Amino acid sequence: MQDNSSKNFVTELTHLDAQGQAQMVDVSGKTPTVRQAVAAARVRMLPETLAAIEAGNTPKKDVLATARIAGIMAAKQTSNLIPLCHPLPLQKVTVEITPDPQLPGYHIQATVKTKAETGVEMEALTAVSVAALTLYDMAKALEKSIQIEAIHLISKTGGKSGDYSSVITA
């Protein structure tokens, strides 16, 4: 007897049509609601690199401001970067970059908010990813071994599927 549980699961995915082809989900019948998502990432580096960035002593100058702006811009461009994502009117995008000498490196957190028919998880994840990549780009002259880690969704609120909070603490 063949196990069809994975087949049933696949046919229930909203991003696939009856033939299993990718499709953009029709959200036109949904009521716009307030939705928010928070995502995080870590950027690990040598203590000397962290110290140079904190002192503003880098070849590309204000590394953190550039990374923050890149994260905000990325959230606004998510539907152009990720196939099948809906373009959304974003009401709020914040990107916080916090130094952590114990890591050593930075914790990046993005919060994205909208009032729309679908959620903003991908926008928050894109924001932290691009902020981390930009931090790397801005500091790679100091260190090539910088590591981007633990990109994940912390929480989301609103929508039909309800609220979500990650069990990941990293």
Q: Which residue among the candidates 3, 62, 137, 163 is catalytic per the annotation? A: 137
pLDDT tens digits for range 32-88: 999 999 999 999 999 999 999 999 999 998 999 999 999 999 999 999 999 889 999
Range of the domain at 158: 30-165
Question: What are 139's two structure tokens?
Answer: 């500091």
Say if residue 3's pLDDT is above 60. Answer: no
What's the pLDDT score for residue 2?
A: 40
Inside any domain, residue 21 = no
In a domain, 138, yes or no: yes
3 is catalytic: no
Structure tokens given for 2: 């063949």
- pLDDT tens digits for range 121-136: 999 999 999 999 999 9
Assess if residue 6 is contained within a domain.
no
Q: Rounded CA gap, 40 and 3, in Å?
A: 37
Distance CA 141, CA 157 (A): 39
**Using CB atoms within 10 A of its CB, is residue 102 exposed (0-12), middle (13-18) or buried (19+)?**
exposed
Domain assignment present for residue 170? The answer is: no
Could you give the number of structural domains in the chain?
1
- Domain for residue 87, yes or no? yes
Q: What is the CATH number of the domain that holds 46?
A: 3.30.70.640
Question: What tokens appear for 81 in the block?
Answer: 């970067």
pTM: 0.87
